[in-house]
């Protein structure tokens, strides 16, 4: 219950007091509003800041306005640039836009007539010689019947930024000046002549792979020669490169290579299997017979055998390497008598190598003795060869097999002392081979029997073979037929044998 005459203390926000004592409330509210206005003066307006200073308060800075002014300036600058570019695109005069190239020729900034002249000079000079990288093969523009429509190319270059609606002109102008524009040349050439040229190049470019190998120097040092990949031209891609180079007005054509063929014998294989030392050798006297044809035949055959490389398990054939050669006539021991035929002297080459293979401990696959004893080598150590008659009948070969676990290298040559030497290099086997031959009997009726023995000791000192190898009944040498040239002979210095009965007939030669 309210008391009359007492002012009521109003509760903030009560509606009944606003109605009853409205005047007084209004006054109070006015005071509150005054405080509120003072507080709002201290708050900055959105987008502005009051700077305090001095008695008079601060000054507002409007950043929104400044931003708008900056954006407007940029837009005006861009508009001016667009207007300039548009004007240049529309009224750009008679020059090709900067940055325009035709093939490899920069024609930007040039009038069409000047651009055509520059293009004519470039094509006439640049296509005097067209080369292929990595080769000596060259062509000329006339070889390929190269023709160039420079007028059409220049017209298309000039059209950039000068034709079409304004947007297109502006876009092309900007693109040409910023990054450049490439215009294809109007070039044609003879595709058939180009294909023929690339086929010729392919033959010149081709290289077979080179197998890794090794050589043995005179002092016995083994030198490994690395294998090399072959190379084959990719004709289809090279033709495409030629087309691209000509279209770009370039005088150099990149050569495309197909997958390189690999050598059958790699460097790693040779390093793992290469010979380390001499495992067998033998020599006979090269000078005992003065016949020059015989010496030439021996040198020729030895040269065909020298540096022969055998893989593990591979079999060597003397005839395979020696038969294809062209020999001269010399004295031969064949058909049960003495003759004069092409290839005289080859049996000394085969016999010398046969004994080297024996001392190397290799497996002898084929060997034939002579019908008669010979002065330059002991009976039982010889190995005759015969290529056969015109029908291939009567072939006699000398063969041995590489039974080691690595490659073997065969060398046969005449040294500076006049000895025919055969040497076999391989990986150490530890084996020691001893050879001996013995005359069993001699009879003018029956002939002369010789028996050969072989002893093999392995690396542990154990004898793994010791005894009979082979035996053969040799004949005496018949007299030399009349009409055959005679040459001076001497007693062989090495590998021969004591022949007091002159059964070989080497000394029975007229002076």
SS3 assignment for 404-439: CCCCEEEEEEECCCCEEEEEEEECCCCCEEEEEEEE
Q: Residue 319 — very low, low, confident or very high, per pLDDT cuts 50/70/90?
A: very high
Burial class (CB in 10 A: 0-12, 13-18, 19+), 60: exposed
The whole-angstrom separation of Cα 385 and Cα 351 is 9
Number of domains in the chain: 1
- Domain membership flag for residue 458: yes
Cβ–Cβ < 8 Å for 410, 316: yes
Per-residue pLDDT tens over the stretch 203-219 = 989 999 999 987 777 66
Per-residue pLDDT tens over the stretch 222-259 = 788 899 999 999 999 999 999 888 877 788 899 999 99
Round to the nearest angstrom and report the end-to-end CA distance of the chain: 178
- Domain membership flag for residue 376: yes
Residue 302 has pLDDT above 60, yes or no: yes
Q: Residue 5 — very low, low, confident or very high, per pLDDT cuts 50/70/90?
A: very low
Mean pLDDT of the 420-428 span? 94
pLDDT for 412 equals 95
Residue 78 has pLDDT above 80, yes or no: no
The whole-angstrom separation of Cα 65 and Cα 46 is 12
- Domain membership flag for residue 431: yes
- Domain membership flag for residue 126: no
Q: What is the DSSP letter of 8?
A: P
pTM for the predicted model, two decimal places: 0.56
Task: Look up residue 174 and give its two tokens.
Answer: 């900007």
Q: Residue 109 — very low, low, confident or very high, per pLDDT cuts 50/70/90?
A: confident
- 442: closest CA among 431, 434, 450, 430? 450
3-state secondary structure of 325: coil
Structural domain containing residue 399: 275-474
User: Percent of the chain, pLDDT > 70?
Assistant: 80
The whole-angstrom separation of Cα 511 and Cα 488 is 7
Per-residue pLDDT tens over the stretch 387-406 = 888 787 889 999 999 999 99
Per-residue pLDDT tens over the stretch 20-72 = 333 333 343 444 444 444 444 445 444 444 444 444 445 555 778 788 888 88
- Domain membership flag for residue 327: yes
The whole-angstrom separation of Cα 109 and Cα 176 is 11
- Domain membership flag for residue 299: yes
- Domain membership flag for residue 178: no
pLDDT for 128 equals 77
- 452: closest CA among 355, 385, 374? 355
Mean pLDDT of the 150-166 span? 85
The whole-angstrom separation of Cα 18 and Cα 200 is 114
Q: Which of the given ranges, 92-96, 170-174, 432-436, has the highest pLDDT on average?
A: 432-436
Q: Residue 299 — very low, low, confident or very high, per pLDDT cuts 50/70/90?
A: very high
The whole-angstrom separation of Cα 492 and Cα 289 is 9
Cβ–Cβ < 8 Å for 265, 227: yes
- Domain membership flag for residue 297: yes
């Amino acid at each position: 219950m309210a008391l009359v005459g007492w002012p009521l203390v109003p509760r903030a926000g009560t509606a009944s007091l606003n109605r009853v004592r409205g005047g007084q409330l209004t006054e109070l509210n006015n005071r509150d509003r005054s405080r509120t206005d003072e507080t709002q003066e201290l708050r900055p307006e959105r987008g502005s800041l009051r700077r305090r200073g001095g008695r008079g308060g601060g000054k507002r800075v409007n950043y929104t306005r400044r931003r708008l002014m900056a954006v407007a300036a940029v837009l005006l600058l861009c508009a001016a640039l667009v207007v300039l570019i548009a004007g240049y695109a529309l009224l750009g005069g008679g020059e090709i836009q900067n940055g325009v190239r035709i093939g490899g020729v920069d024609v930007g900034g040039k009038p069409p007539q000047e651009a055509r002249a520059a293009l004519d000079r470039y094509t006439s000079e640049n296509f005097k010689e067209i080369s292929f990288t990595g080769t000596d093969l060259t062509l000329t523009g006339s070889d390929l019947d190269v023709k160039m429509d420079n007028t059409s190319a220049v017209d298309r270059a000039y059209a950039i930024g000068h034709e079409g609606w304004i947007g297109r002109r502006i876009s092309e102008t900007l693109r040409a000046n910023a990054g450049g524009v490439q215009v294809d040349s109007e070039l044609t050439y003879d595709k058939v002549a180009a294909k023929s040229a690339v086929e010729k190049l392919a033959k010149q470019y081709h290289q077979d792979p080179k197998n890794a190998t090794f050589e043995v120097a005179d002092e016995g040092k083994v030198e490994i020669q690395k294998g090399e990949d072959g190379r084959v031209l990719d004709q289809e891609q090279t033709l495409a490169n030629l087309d691209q180079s000509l279209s770009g007005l370039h005088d150099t054509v990149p050569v495309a290579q197909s997958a390189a063929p690999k050598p059958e014998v790699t460097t790693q294989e040779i390093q793992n299997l290469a010979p380390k030392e001499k495992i067998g050798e033998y020599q006979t006297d090269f000078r005992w017979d003065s016949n020059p044809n015989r010496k030439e035949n021996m040198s020729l055959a030895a040269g065909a055998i020298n540096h022969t490389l055998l893989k593990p398990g591979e079999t060597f054939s003397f005839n395979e390497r020696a038969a294809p050669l062209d020999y001269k006539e010399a004295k031969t021991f064949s058909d049960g008598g003495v003759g004069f035929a092409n290839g005289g002297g080859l049996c000394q080459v085969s016999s010398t190598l046969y004994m080297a293979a024996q001392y190397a401990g290799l497996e002898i696959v084929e060997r034939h003795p002579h019908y008669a004893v010979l002065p330059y080598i002991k009976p039982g150590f010889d190995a005759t060869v015969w290529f056969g008659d015109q029908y291939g009948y009567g072939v006699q070969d000398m063969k041995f097999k590489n039974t080691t676990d690595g490659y073997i290298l065969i060398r046969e040559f005449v040294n500076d002392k006049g000895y025919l030497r055969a040497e076999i290099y391989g990986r150490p086997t530890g084996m020691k081979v001893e050879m001996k031959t013995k005359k069993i009997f001699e009879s003018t009726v029956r002939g002369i029997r010789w028996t050969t023995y072989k002893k093999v000791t392995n690396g542990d000192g154990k004898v793994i073979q010791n005894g009979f190898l082979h035996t053969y009944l040799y004949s005496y040498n018949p007299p030399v037929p009349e009409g055959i040239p005679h040459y001076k002979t001497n007693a062989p210095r090495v590998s021969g044998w004591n022949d007091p009965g002159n059964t070989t007939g080497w000394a029975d030669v007229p002076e």
